[in-house]
């Protein structure tokens, strides 16, 4: 079996077929590698483009002012939210009291009506 | 062509492929030249020895690895990875042909008999081997080519074919034995000539 094994290895390894891919196939593959790199660049730019632009030292004063404005707005918005929720709580208590008063009054009226009619 | 081949001789396949994933065209040229002929031969022998099909499949395989470069695990040997993709493509093609064969068998029972395309081999022995090999199933053929043409080890073949090592060994043994019997029985002159 070893002889046959060696025979197969030597014959098959040195076998040659006259076959090749043409240039257009190669060029297409080449373009695809380019396209993929462009795609990955676009992806990277969309992910980190804003961040890298923002971190570069140009217009630093404008950027600091922008961040400060954002912080002020965020803090203001947070305080507003607390205030609004307090107002809402107060309002809902008043409404509840009013409803309670109304229903008590209606009940009283009905009781007195049934007693005297 | 305007590009330089073998610019990255010092890089191994795995490093080249990582460079390709980052859009390096020169690395692609090198890797393409390292594998193009090997893949063409593999597809040619696996798929009815049809040159056009072999070309299409090789082209498609390169497209696949460029598009799916993110699926490559750099810890894996590149050669086993690319041949496992090639083998899966052949498997799918065999499955597709089986379906087609069953559906048109009544009209044209010899539609997949490819003996006529076997004439181009230079050596009669090679022609004979691959003629007999046409009767073996796809996994036997691929194990045979990966061992005797590509020189992969049994472990690597088992990784490529996704089969246990024992199964690969037994398939190779069976294929070799059957081939030897065929040659001995039908071509005693070759047995004498090559001392088989």
What per-residue confidence (pLDDT) applies to A42? Answer: 60
Q: Nearest CA to B73 among B10, B120, B21?
A: B21
Nearest to B28 among A9, A11, A33 (CB): A33
**H-run or E-run covering A11:** helix A2-13
Q: Higher model confidence: residue B172 or residue A98?
A: B172
User: Domain range holding B143?
Assistant: 121-188
What per-residue confidence (pLDDT) applies to A93? Answer: 67
Is residue A20 within 8 Å of B51, Cβ to Cβ? no
- Cα–Cα distance list, B193 to A13, B105, B190 (Å): 19, 41, 5
Question: CA of B136 to nearest chain A CA: how many angstroms apart?
Answer: 16
B20 and B82 both lie in a single domain: yes
> Is the CB of A4 less than 8 angstroms away from the CB of B32?
no
User: Which residue of chain B is at minimal alpha-carbon distance from A2?
Assistant: B196
Quick: pLDDT tens for B88-133. 999 999 999 887 766 655 444 444 444 444 444 457 788 888 889 9
Helical pair B165-186 and B154-161, crossing angle rounded to 10 deg = 100
Q: How many domains does chain B have?
A: 2
The residues of chain B scoring below 50 in pLDDT are: 1-3, 106-121
C-alpha to C-alpha distance for B41 and B55, rounded to whole angstroms: 10
> Is the CB of B23 less than 8 angstroms away from the CB of A36?
yes
Q: Does B132 touch chain A (CB under 8 A)?
A: no
B2 and B88 both lie in a single domain: yes
B93 and B166 both lie in a single domain: no
Domain boundary residue, one of B82, B114, B146: B114
What per-residue confidence (pLDDT) applies to A44? Answer: 62
What per-residue confidence (pLDDT) applies to A114? Answer: 67
What per-residue confidence (pLDDT) applies to B113? Answer: 44
pTM for the predicted model, two decimal places = 0.67
Task: Give the residue from B148, B172, B179 with the most A CB atoms within 10 Å of its CB, the best one to mutate.
Answer: B148
Quick: pLDDT tens for A19-78. 888 888 888 888 877 777 666 666 666 666 666 667 777 778 888 888 899 998 988 887
Is ipTM > 0.85 here? Answer: no
Establish if B21 belongs to a structural domain. Answer: yes
Establish if B166 belongs to a structural domain. Answer: yes
B157 class by beta-carbon count within 10 Å (0-12 exposed, 13-18 middle, 19+ buried): buried
> Is the CB of A34 less than 8 angstroms away from the CB of B36?
no
């Amino acid at each position: 079996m070893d002889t046959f094994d060696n025979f197969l290895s030597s014959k098959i390894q040195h076998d040659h077929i006259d076959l090749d891919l043409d240039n257009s196939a190669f060029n297409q593959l080449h373009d695809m590698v380019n396209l993929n790199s462009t795609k990955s660049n676009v992806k990277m730019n969309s992910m980190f483009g804003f961040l890298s632009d923002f971190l570069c030292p140009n217009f630093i004063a404008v950027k600091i002012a922008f961040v400060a404005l954002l912080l002020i707005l965020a803090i203001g918005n947070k305080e507003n939210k607390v205030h609004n929720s307090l107002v809402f709580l107060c309002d809902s208590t008043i409404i509840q009291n009013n409803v309670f008063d109304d229903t008590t009054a209606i009940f009283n009226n009905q009781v007195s009506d049934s007693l005297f009619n | 062509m305007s590009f330089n081949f073998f610019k990255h001789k010092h890089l191994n396949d795995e490093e080249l492929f990582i460079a390709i994933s980052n859009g390096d065209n020169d690395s692609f040229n090198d890797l393409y030249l390292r594998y193009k002929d090997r893949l063409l031969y593999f597809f040619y022998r696996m798929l009815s020895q049809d040159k056009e099909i072999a070309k299409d499949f090789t082209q498609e395989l390169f497209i696949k690895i460029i598009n799916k470069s993110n699926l490559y695990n750099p810890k894996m040997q590149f050669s086993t990875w690319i041949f496992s993709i090639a083998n899966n493509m052949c498997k799918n093609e065999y499955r597709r042909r089986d379906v087609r064969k069953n559906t048109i068998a009544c009209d044209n029972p010899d539609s997949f008999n490819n003996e006529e395309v076997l004439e181009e081999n230079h050596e009669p022995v090679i022609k004979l081997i691959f003629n007999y090999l046409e009767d073996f199933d796809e996994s036997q053929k691929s194990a045979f080519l990966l061992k005797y043409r590509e020189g992969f080890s049994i472990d690597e073949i088992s990784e490529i074919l996704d089969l246990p090592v024992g199964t690969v060994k037994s398939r190779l043994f069976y294929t070799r034995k059957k081939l030897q019997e065929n040659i001995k029985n039908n071509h005693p002159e070759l047995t004498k000539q090559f001392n088989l």
